[in-house]
Structure formats: structure tokens, C-alpha cells
Structure 1
């Protein structure tokens, strides 16, 4: 189900996507072809596969959008039929939703403030060290400046729609929030947890040395001298860890006071831990979790309201989808 939360997280003007997939040191290039057809013929490339009123997406545009998404995957996943079907659905959904939002904006006779658009464009560009690097990022995503500008514009129109839909919703009452809490009480049960400090190391042998040094000096001094992330402010404070079945951090919950636990292998290397505080498991009260519950209930109402809006737009407007042409798209990978 499409939701307002999903659409809020859909950053259509983002230029900070993942790099093209690499497998075993080889660069993977994705080529989309039509079964039994010549994708590069003008007639096939210009064939319309999606349309909302007068807004269209050609097979060439669909293929480009799909290829850009698949670049985030390894070559085997990209060619998997179920994965390919999922990503085709995502491309289709993105186009239809954006087109319907634009159509709604036009139907309501709304105008996007030019200064707001220019400010949003400048804000994104300012995040790059130079204009050249910004242009290079556009090129790496096979996106023209005009295409990107249009995506930013649609994003701002989306914000206007969301604001309108939220104004139509009734805020949940305390009674409704209390009912939600009682129906989902186990969800707000707090498991046993510990607060820990940590030293990040490159290998296990180094951990043995530090454990011996710990008898003569403080954990903080060892962190400052040996931890790989010592230059990162606050890195020694690892934070709160909730007990979970099968977790590699289980030793922290049965450790003695001030004991060094580890080394425990993590994605970035090996860590030594010291527990600084403990909390027993407990049932959180309604008052404690009320802000969280309110956010959840509001999100559910947003989802329902957006789904209703989307249904209204789909029924109101002429929508075309060339399923055969989209389904015929397959993936070929090549190494460079």
C-alpha cells in the first residue's frame, strides 16, 4: 500500500544514490532489451508505455529509469525475474503517482512559487563542493538538468498535497490513543538493556593486548590511544543495547562490573565493550509512549487518507499502461 510516509521518504530530487553495482572487482553495466525486438529502433524506443491524461512515459524513458534502479544491485539479483518485476512496479508506481499529483495541482489551479523552487534547487546544489561535481553526479545518473529540475518541482508539489491532506484529518483523541496502546501493549514492552562504551579495533590479537593494559590504565585512555574511531566525537559512548535472542552482544548482559567484553566481530572490525549502566525489562506506561503512539496513529490515518485520495484520482483520470511492452523488458549484464 502506498502511504504518505512512503512518499515523504521518496526523495525524487536526491543526487546521493548508491554507486553502480560491482561484483568480484568487475564493473557491471546494465542493458535493457526487448524479447524479440530491437530496443534501439526509433519506433520501439518512442512507444508510450505509461500515460496519465497528457503525461506520458516512453519505453526508452522507462528502460532508463529501470536501469538506474537496478544499478544498485549485483548482476544476479538484477536478472532475477521476481526482483525485476518488483523494480518495474516501483518505476510504474513512481510515474503514476507523480503524474497524478501534477494533474491534481493543475486541477486545483495551483501555482508553485518560483522563489520556492529556486531556493530548493540552490539548496541541493550547495551540498556539492563545486558546480562541476554537481553536473558530474547528474551525468552519472543519466539525468539532464531539466529532468532533475522537474523532479524537484514535483517534490514541492507533493509537499503541497500532503499539507492539504493532513489538514483534512481529525487529530486522534486521548481515548483513541489509549485504545491503541491497550491493543498493542506487548509492542511497548521494554526488554532488558545495557549502556556500553566501546573500543573499535582492527584485529583480535590487538584486543588481547588492550585487555592486559586495562589492568593498569583507564578505558578512556585506551580508547584515545587505540580505537579506530577515536577521532569521532562521542564515539566511545556506544549507547543503549536492548537484549535480543541470539545476539552476538549477549555476553554484555552476563558480564561483571567494569569487565572488558570481547572482542566481538562487527562490520567495521572488532569491538571491546564495557557496560556502564543496566536497565531491567519493564512494561512502559501509556504516558511514556504516548508521543510514539500518536505518531503511529497519525501515520495510519495518513496512509488511509492518501489511499483514498489515490483511488479518487485513478477513477477520475484516464490512465494507460502497456503491460505487454513492460513485461517484455529483460536484463542483460556485461562486464567492463
Structure 2
């Protein structure tokens, strides 16, 4: 069971080697050798500490939890080695620009930079550790794409068969797509509404003034299911092209216009076809990738110093 450490009482978890006065020497000893690549005790301990960061001190010292985390860490090193080896052999690289683009995409789902950093802090994750993990995730995605690039597309018959067996999945609630501006203060919302009434452009004003994440995209919310948020319920009663009055929610003061609407109902096969193709394609890719990965794991040479792994203990700062 995982526990979230309360920030007010958190003790930083550290993986360390007890039982020796020559700790610096021990930390450089290989604890794993994966396909000829050495993982030192220090590297392993640091990775283990990151894995234990969401445990409280008592849970992290529990032997069962610790052994499970150790084995998960070993597996993570093996999978990373396989990914990096394949990438090197096949000329697959991840650029800093690709990492930054992906980071921006993730951060855009938060209201602002502070909220994103606070979320990392709540999980006791350093930004650089998060970015390193993100780099590996991007690399693994590129490897997946390379390995599955030549897989055949789902056939018409396969897609129809899936549709007939899963019709309930294509029952959809009413949806609406909006362009909105969200302001922190009602007075600001009134000023923006005045500008809109004077033929101001909502997309332009959203980019300038909206505090919502989609503001940078001209206020386009994308499709919203009915019931997503109470403040949007009014939109389902409005015509396409209509604009709301100022509406208050826990997120601020909203002004929106209706871009598109879709009624409640079940998608027919032609309407569901693209979605089905994506589902079947993803399923096929996952099977192919899992099969490839299992083969790579079986072929890997993994040497481990179990005595040294056993000697790695968890201590807490100040204990």
C-alpha cells in the first residue's frame, strides 16, 4: 500500500549502505551488470530512493515493501538498458526540443507554473528528476513507433466485428465545444464583456486575458461532456454562435460562446470507424511491443550482487 507523505511532517527518504566504514568504495561497486553495462550501488540506491519517495518512513522500512521496491528498481534498470541499447543501434534520439515540447504540453494542463511545481513538490519529485523520466518516456514512445511502424492496419471486417460486439461503448452523452474567457474578478469580466459587445474578438481577448489553460489556444475548450462542470450546463440550452452572460464558478468568472454541439445518442459504424481503428491499432501495437520486450528481457544478460542488494537499507534523515 502506498502512502502520501504529508509535507508538514515529511522526512526525506534516503537509500544508503550501512554496515561498512568504506562507504565511498562500496557505493562505486557494481550491484548490477546488464548486457555489459554496470549499475553502481550509488546509482541503484539513488533510483531506489526516488521509487520510495511516496512512502512514509515506517512503510518504506517495511521489509516486504522494501523488497518489492528493490525488484521494481532492478526491472526498471533492465528496461531502460534495453530501450537505450535499441535506440543507439537504430539511431533513435530524443532532442532537448522534443522534451521541452512534451513538458510544455503536460504543464499546460495546470492553471500556471506555480500549480505545476506545487504538484511536483506534493509528490516529492524534483523537477530535474521529472524531466529525466520524461526524456525516457519520449524515447520509449519513439521506440514503440519504430517497432510497430510496419504493422498492418485493422481491416474493415475487424472494425465491424468490434463495433457489433461493443455497441454500448459508442453511446455518447451530449457534448458541446466552447470558446471561453475566464477572469479572476467580476469587474474584469464586465470590462471584457463590454469589449465583446463592441465587436471585440473573443479568441484574441482569451489569449490576452483568460486565466484558464486553454487561453493560449484562443479559449477553445475542446469537446465537453454534459455534466463536466455546472457552469457549462447553460451552453447545452444555447444555439451555436450564441454567447453567455457572465457566469461564476469556483475557477473564476466565465464568458463563453458555443462553437459546436453534438446530441446524445449512439454513434453508427461510419461515425465510430476512426475511433475503432485507433483502438484496434493501439491494441495491436501493445501486443507487438510486449512480445518484442519480453523477448529482449529473456535475451538480456543480467548479473546481480544479491548480497550487496540485501545490504542496501532505508534510513531517514535525522534517524
| TM-score normalised over the length of structure 2 | 0.61
Residues 255 and 261 of structure 1 are in contact (CA less than 8 Å); yes or no, is this contact kept in structure 2?
no
> Which of 244, 247, 265 is residue 250 of structure 2 equivalent to?
265
Cα distance, 1:242 vs. partner?
1.0
> Which of 26, 37, 45 is residue 27 of structure 2 equivalent to?
45
Counterpart position of 1:210: 190
The change in CA–CA distance for 1:196 and 1:170 in structure 2 (over 3 A counts) is closer
Distance in 1 between the 2:288 and 2:67 partners? 27
Q: Secondary structure at the match of 1:272?
A: strand
Distance in 2 between the 1:78 and 1:170 partners? 50
Counterpart position of 2:316: 332
**Higher helix proportion:** 2
Cα distance, 1:90 vs. partner?
5.7
Residues 29 and 333 of structure 1 are in contact (CA less than 8 Å); yes or no, is this contact kept in structure 2?
yes
Do residues 290 (structure 1) and 273 (structure 2) align? yes
The change in CA–CA distance for 1:331 and 1:111 in structure 2 (over 3 A counts) is same
Cα distance, 1:272 vs. partner?
1.5
The change in CA–CA distance for 1:104 and 1:250 in structure 2 (over 3 A counts) is closer
Residues 144 and 289 of structure 2 are in contact (CA less than 8 Å); yes or no, is this contact kept in structure 1?
no
> Which of 297, 304, 320 is residue 287 of structure 2 equivalent to?
304
- 1:134-178: CA deviations, max 9, x gaps? xxxxx9848xxxxx9xx88x949x8567524543x3432111122
Cα distance, 1:193 vs. partner?
1.6
**1:76-87 alignment runs, 5 A limit:** 81=60
The change in CA–CA distance for 1:177 and 1:80 in structure 2 (over 3 A counts) is farther
The change in CA–CA distance for 1:69 and 1:295 in structure 2 (over 3 A counts) is same
The change in CA–CA distance for 1:89 and 1:187 in structure 2 (over 3 A counts) is farther
> Which of 51, 68, 77 is residue 95 of structure 1 equivalent to?
77
Cα distance, 1:27 vs. partner?
11
Residues 147 and 289 of structure 2 are in contact (CA less than 8 Å); yes or no, is this contact kept in structure 1?
no
Counterpart position of 2:160: 178
Distance in 2 between the 1:103 and 1:172 partners? 31
The change in CA–CA distance for 1:315 and 1:111 in structure 2 (over 3 A counts) is closer
Task: Quote the RMSD (CA, aligned, Å).
Answer: 5.0
Cα distance, 1:330 vs. partner?
2.6
* Structure 2 unmatched ranges of 5 or more: 102-125
Cα distance, 1:192 vs. partner?
0.7
**1:63-142 alignment runs, 5 A limit:** 63-67=45-49, 81=60, 91-101=73-83, 111=89, 141=128
Distance in 1 between the 2:127 and 2:155 partners? 49
- 1:95-134: CA deviations, max 9, x gaps? 21232346668xxxx9555xx76xx65867999xxxxxxx
Distance in 1 between the 2:148 and 2:299 partners? 18
Residues 34 and 302 of structure 2 are in contact (CA less than 8 Å); yes or no, is this contact kept in structure 1?
yes
Counterpart position of 1:54: 36
Structure with more contact order per residue of length (Cα contacts < 8 Å, sep ≥ 6)? 1
Cα distance, 1:66 vs. partner?
4.1
Cα distance, 1:189 vs. partner?
2.3
Counterpart position of 1:4: none
Distance in 2 between the 1:171 and 1:312 partners? 24
Distance in 2 between the 1:98 and 1:183 partners? 38
Distance in 2 between the 1:217 and 1:306 partners? 51
Do residues 200 (structure 1) and 182 (structure 2) align? yes
Distance in 2 between the 1:260 and 1:86 partners? 55
| TM-score normalised over the length of structure 1 | 0.59
